[in-house]
Structure 1
Amino acid sequence: MAFDGITISALVKELEENLTDGRIAKIAQPESDELLLTVKTPGGQKRLYISASASLPLIYLTSDNKPSPMTAPGFCMLLRKHIGGGRITGISQPKLERIIHIDIEHLDELGDLCRKTLIVEIMGKHSNIIFCDDKGMIIDSIKHVSAQMSSVREVLPGRQYFIPDTMEKQDPLNTDLAGFSAALRDRPAPLGKAIYLSYTGVSPVAAEEVCCLAGLDSSMTAKDLSDDMMTHLYRQFCYYFEQVKHGSFTPAIYYSGSDPKDFSALPVSHYSAYRRQEFTSVSELLSTYYAVKNTMTRIRQKSADLRHVVQTALERSRKKYDLQLRQLRDTENRDKFKVYGELINTYGYNLSEDASELTALNYYTNETVTIPLDKNLTPQENAQKYFNKYNKQKRTYEALSGLIGDTADDIRYLESISNSLDIAQNEDDLLQIKEELTQAGYIRRKYTKKKVKIMSRPLHYVSQDGYHMYVGKNNLQNDELTFHFASGSDWWFHAKGAPGSHVIVKSGGDELPDRTFEEAGRLAAYYSKNRGSDKVEIDYVEKKHVKKPNGAKPGFVVYYTNYSLVIDSDISEIEEAD
């Protein structure tokens, strides 16, 4: 979800309620593009976090503090000089732009009352924090933008501040049917795209929601709509933005399983397939959403080296597997050479010395065959030549049959580690995967005096019927769960024919209800390579029937009797234990 004008509107409402009439007690600049304002209000002390980061621009209320540099940057010192101790008189949003104006009153050196405005622009890589006087003149900004950097607008001290209107978009809070129809029909783009290209602060998700409320396909063009359909779409558009006008926001994060897919300040009906978590404030929503996203991003970054090791080994094993298969196919006709040798020994007694071939009846098939001969060799030597060729290919076949099985096991094992990296949730999980790769010989062990303690633990869920379900996050945990933690009467689940986690359900000797079997099956589907599929085949069996072959790799098991079920991979209704 883009940090769109609707989200900004909800945030402005929240900031107005919490910060208006508050006094700015502290101003800090933890990073080169961040501000942290501490505001004393009648309701207590509040902290406002503002980031103009090109990759993740944000603004929200937070309870967390951040360490600041020993020497405050110039922009921070300027703000302390001008608005330190100032009173926030108002917070507003021009039209539905992704811009917030924070109006501040303060006393200057002579004791005169002055007004300044801190402008926060949340615009992706163009985000900025701009400090202006009461006439709209820029005093300074956290990022300077010169004419060489932008032909649209300079952001430099002494320049007049203005909002560039590069897209010529309209205000969605003030539009009529004629203007709405003309704006959409003038664009050849699909309906959803035409809406967000025509109106300020409207994201693709919001445009899709308007189309969904109207019961229209967003891929249609406005020219495909009749006047009645256009009127209906306009009414749904107005109904949707009526919520913004009246401040009727319901902030929520939408989850796909345990992963946050998106967030919105208004309900998103076309996200009905996702689990919805509501929040009382936009700030709480943003801090939760981006905390999870930041964790996931950090884990992906930290796992990059491990992924490279696994991917390199996978590519090498797959190439080796293909080569071995080709070599195995070359041995498919080995029995033919054995027959040739036998036929030469049987019929070669009357061959002339310079014969280049032998035509004889193959007594195995009752067919006549022609056997090429080397004129420089005797019939017995020709026969021995074919026997040698047969024996060589037979030895190759026997050796390759074992090697291909080993290579296939390597591929399955590496794919299982790749899946473990996909479901890793923290650095402890990555440490355990690294240890597994080290034990398997894919990473060279570094000997240090300090021993790293691995704290990673399996995932723990509770079924709706009260049964405890455990999910291994990697092969070492899978082995631990299956062969050390589970008892014989517990149930074991795994996605059929796909890399994935072992799921153990502690039965306590009870006969499990069908609903618990389904929930455990969903966990096995979700924590496998088939995550996201509507139909995943799951094998399940009592743990006592699961065996580990001698010398098998971690996570590898065999079973010769099992039940199967086909289930989706939605675990949104399954409760994770504390």
Structure 2
Amino acid sequence: MAFDGITIANIVKDLKTSLLDGRISKIAQPEADELLLTIKKPDGQRRLYISASASLPLIYLTDENKPSPFTAPNFCMLLRKHIANGRIVSITQPSLERIIIFEIEHLNELGDLCRKKLIVEIMGKHSNIIFCDSDDQIIDSIKHVPAQMSSVREVLPGRKYFIPDTMHKADPLRTSEDGFADILRNKPMPLSKALYTGFTGLSPVAAEEICYLSGIDSSLPPSELSEDYLIHLFRQFSFFMDRIREGIFSPCIYYRGNEPQEFSAVPLTHLTDCECRPFDTISQVLSSYYAVKNRITRIRQKSSDLRHVVQTALERNRKKFDLQTKQLKGTEKRDRYKVYGELLHTYGYSLEPGAKELTALNYYTNEMITIPLDETKTPQENAKRYFEKYNKQKRTFEALSELIKETQDEVRYLESVSSALDFARTEDDLAQIKEELSESGYVRRKFSKKKVKFKSVPLHYLSSDGYDMYVGKNNLQNEELTFSFANGNDWWFHAKQVPGSHVIVKSQGVEMPDRVFEEAGKLAAHYSKNAGSKKVEVDYIEKKHIKKVKGQKPGFVIYHTNYSLIADTDISMLKEIPEK
């Protein structure tokens, strides 16, 4: 579901109930494009989270606090100067735009009562938080938009604030029957698309719902609808908009299985194959729906430097492996040179001076063989030359074989770190991966007298039969899980021959049901490089048979006589135990 004007209308209704006449007691800017406002009222305090992130813009009430930078950014300091302890006197949404305007009353430096506006625009990559005076003059914004970035509207201090009308959409709350029909008739496209491209604040899902309520096929072009059908469609459209005008909302999330598919501020009856789970407020819907998505987005942004380090090292080692493999291929003739030398010692006496080749019986294969010769050298000198070639290529082969193995191990290790970055959920997870890369020499360690401590812990799941299952999120955790945490009779799982997490199942000293092995296999498949595949081969074995190779990177193990199973990567049936 798009973060559309209907969702904004529901948020505005909730914010009016919770924040009007409240005083802004704290202003924080946890990220470059985020604000966290703490508003106090006689019945308690509320926190308002606002994000103008290009990838995930949001606004909702939350109970959670977020750590702020040691030095507050300039925009945050400006807001503190002007509206700290200010009173929120109005919260409005112009038309059905994805815009919320907070009007804040405060005392200026001279003690005079003034008003300012904090305008939140939730518009995808164009999202912004803009601070204006009472005359809509921009004081500052969390993102500056100069003319080079946008020819439609500059967002800079001193400019006049206005809402750009780039799409020329109609206001759905004030559309007449004749205007409705005219707008649709001029759109040669499917009906649902004509609705959401013709009217402000409608998302594709909301447009689909209006068509479904009307009983009209959403794929039909409006030009094929009769006058009666258009009247009927307008009535359903009006009923739908009446709910918005009257503030009748039903915030909910629609699930297919355990996966959230859509969220909405109004019922979506066309999602007949989904389960609807209602919530008390739209803020609860948004925090629940976007909590995981927002965390993943932020972690990916914060892990970009580590990803670059790992990817660069991977590419370098893969190129090195290709070069070493080509060089190794050049040593394939080494044994032939040895045979040439031995045959020259055996049959060289029969050669005439200046001979260019020797044809003789190869007593290793019982086949005739022709040996090229340097006619300027004696048979003994030719034999010596071939033995020297053999010894040189033998040494090259032995050295390259060892180097190739080292390079392969390095590629496998870096691929495992790359997978660990995909599994990272918190900044502590990233810090642990960075520490691992420091120990391996890929990242320069910052000097510190304090020993680094990590709050990052393995993932904890509960099987359907009540067995505890643990998943390492990176190589250091894999090492700890397997060799410090697991007992000898616990079971160890890992996706076969691909980077992935170690999975430990606590056996409780009893024989486990088959279903536990299947579910642990699913975990190992899910937390591997093959995540998303329908079939992944997984090795499993009792922990006591797992060995650590001295000198190897963390998380690398060897084992023999293991069992194998085929698993998919669906872990929706498993209960994850939250970290304490």
* TM-score for both structures, normalised by structure 1: 0.77
Q: Contact 2:4/2:203 (CA < 8 Å) preserved in 1?
A: yes
Taking a change above 3 Å as real, the CA distance of residues 575 and 344 of structure 1, as seen in their structure-2 partners, is: same
Deviation, 1:179, is 4.9
SS of the residue 2:61 aligns to: strand
Q: Residues 232-381 of structure 1: matches in 2 within 5 Å?
A: 238=237, 247-252=248-253, 264-265=264-265, 279-287=279-287, 292=292, 295-365=295-365, 367-381=367-381
Contact 2:185 2:222 in 1 (8 A): no
What is the rounded CA distance, in whole Å, between the counterparts of 1:240 and 1:320 in structure 2? 63
Q: CA deviation at 1:469?
A: 0.6
Asked if residue 167 in structure 1 is aligned to residue 167 in structure 2, the reply is yes
Could you say if the C-alpha distance between residues 472 and 58 of structure 1 is closer, same or farther in structure 2, counting changes exceeding 3 Å?
Answer: closer
How many Å apart are 1:227 and its aligned residue?
5.5
| Aligned-residue offset at 1:206 | 5.7
Return the alpha-carbon distance in structure 1 between the equivalents of residues 80 and 157 of structure 2.
15
Note closer, same or farther for the CA distance 1:231–1:364 as it changes in structure 2 (3 Å cut).
farther
Give the aligned partner of residue 463 of structure 1. 463
Matches within 5 A, 1:520-535: 520-535=520-535
Aligned 8 A contact 1:253 1:285 in 2: no
Is 2:160 the partner of 1:182?
no
Match of 1:565?
565
Equivalents in 2 of 1:164, 1:362: separation in Å?
88
Distance in 2 (alpha carbons) for counterparts of 1:17 and 1:488: 58
* Counterpart secondary structure, 1:23: coil
Gaps of 5+ in 2: none
Describe the SS at the equivalent of 1:410: helix
The answer to whether the 8 Å contact 2:423/2:473 transfers is: yes
Alpha-carbon separation, structure 1, partners of 2:508 and 2:235: 54
**What is the percentage of aligned positions where both structures have the same residue?**
58
Tell whether the 8 Å contact from 1:210 to 1:237 is kept in structure 2 after alignment. yes
- Cα pair distance change 1:85/1:483, threshold 3 Å: closer
Displacement of 1:11 in angstroms is 0.8
* 8 Å contact from structure 1 (residues 538, 565) kept in 2: yes
Superposition map of 1:503-522 within 5 A = 503-522=503-522
Structure 1 residues 120 and 429: CA distance shift in structure 2, 3 A: closer
- Check the 8 A contact 2:338/2:386 in 1, yes or no: yes
| 1:91-106 equivalent positions in 2, closer than 5 A | 91-101=91-101
Distance 1:44 1:326 in 2: 71
Per-residue deviation, 1:156: 9.2
Match of 2:401 in 1: 401
1:458 deviation in Å? 1.8
CA–CA separation in structure 2 for the residues paired with 1:201 and 1:464: 44
Match of 1:501 in 2: 501
TM-score (norm 2): 0.77
What one-letter code is carried by the residue in structure 2 that aligns with 1:564? S
**Deviation for aligned residue 1:480:** 2.4
Alignment partner of 1:475 is 2:475: yes
How many Å apart are 1:92 and its aligned residue? 4.4
Task: Please name the residue that 2:21 is paired with.
Answer: 23
Task: Quote the residue 2:136 is aligned against.
Answer: 138
The Cα offsets for residues 236-283 of structure 1, whole Å up to 9 and x where unpaired, read as 99598787566333344979999x998654578999999998643222
Contact 2:57/2:127, CA 8 A, preserved across alignment: no
Per-residue CA distance 1:420-479 (angstroms, 9 max, x = gap): 222223333334333433443444556543222233322211112111111122223222
Between the aligned partners of 1:472 and 1:414, the Cα distance in structure 2 is 16
Cα distance in 1, alignment partners of residues 169 and 565 from structure 2 = 53
For 1:393-419, what per-residue CA distance to the aligned partner results, in whole angstroms no more than 9, with x for missing partners?
A: 223223322332222122212221222
Trace 1:179-258 onto structure 2 (pairs within 5 A): 179=182, 181-182=184-185, 184-185=187-188, 187=189, 196-203=196-203, 238=237, 247-252=248-253
SS in 2 for 1:521: helix
Q: Deviations over 1:347-405 (max 9, x none)?
A: 43333322222334445445544322111101121122122222322232233223322
Question: Is the contact between residue 470 and residue 503 of structure 1 (CA under 8 Å) also seen in structure 2?
Answer: yes
SS at match of 2:555: coil
SS of 2:371's partner is strand
> What is the RMSD computed on CA atoms of the aligned residues?
5.0
1:388 aligns with 2:388: yes
CA distance in 2, matches of 1:422, 1:314: 16
Q: Take 1:279 and 1:372, find their aligned partners in 2: how far apart are those partners?
A: 86
Equivalent residue for 1:121?
121
Of stretches 309-318 and 62-71 in structure 1, the one that deviates more from structure 2 is: 62-71
* Residue 495 to residue 209, structure 1, CA distance change in 2 (3 Å): farther
Please report how far the alpha carbon of residue 337 of structure 1 lies from its aligned counterpart in structure 2 after TM superposition: 1.8
Letter in 1 for 2:344: I
Q: Please say which of residues 137-146 and 330-339 is displaced more in the overlay.
A: 137-146
Instruction: Give, in whole Å, the separation in 1 of the partners of 2:560 and 2:176.
Output: 68
The 2-side partners of 1:25 and 1:157 are apart by: 25
Q: Which moved more, 1:411-420 or 1:443-452?
A: 443-452
CA distance in 2, matches of 1:215, 1:375: 95
Separation (CA, whole Å) in 2 of partners of 1:550 and 1:72: 52
> Could you say if the C-alpha distance between residues 529 and 234 of structure 1 is closer, same or farther in structure 2, counting changes exceeding 3 Å?
farther
Give the distance between the partners of 1:77 and 1:514, measured in 2 at CA: 64
Structure 2 residue matching 1:576: 3-state secondary structure: strand
Aligned-pair CA distance for 1:505: 0.6
Match of 2:415 in 1: 415
- CA drift of 1:524 comes to 1.0
Please tell me whether the aligned partners of residues 24 and 83 of structure 2 are also in contact (alpha carbons under 8 angstroms).
no
C-alpha separation in 1, matches of 2:106 and 2:439: 65
Equivalenced residue count is: 557
Contact kept? 2:344, 2:383, Cα under 8 Å: yes
Q: Which moved more, 1:350-359 or 1:522-531?
A: 350-359
The answer to whether the Cα contact below 8 Å between 1:51 and 1:59 also exists between their aligned partners in 2 is yes
Deviation of the 1:525 alpha carbon: 1.6
Matched, 1:12 2:12: yes
Quick one: distance in 1 between partners of 2:167 and 2:136?
23
Distance 1:518 1:25 in 2: 55
Q: Which amino acid aligns with 2:399?
A: A
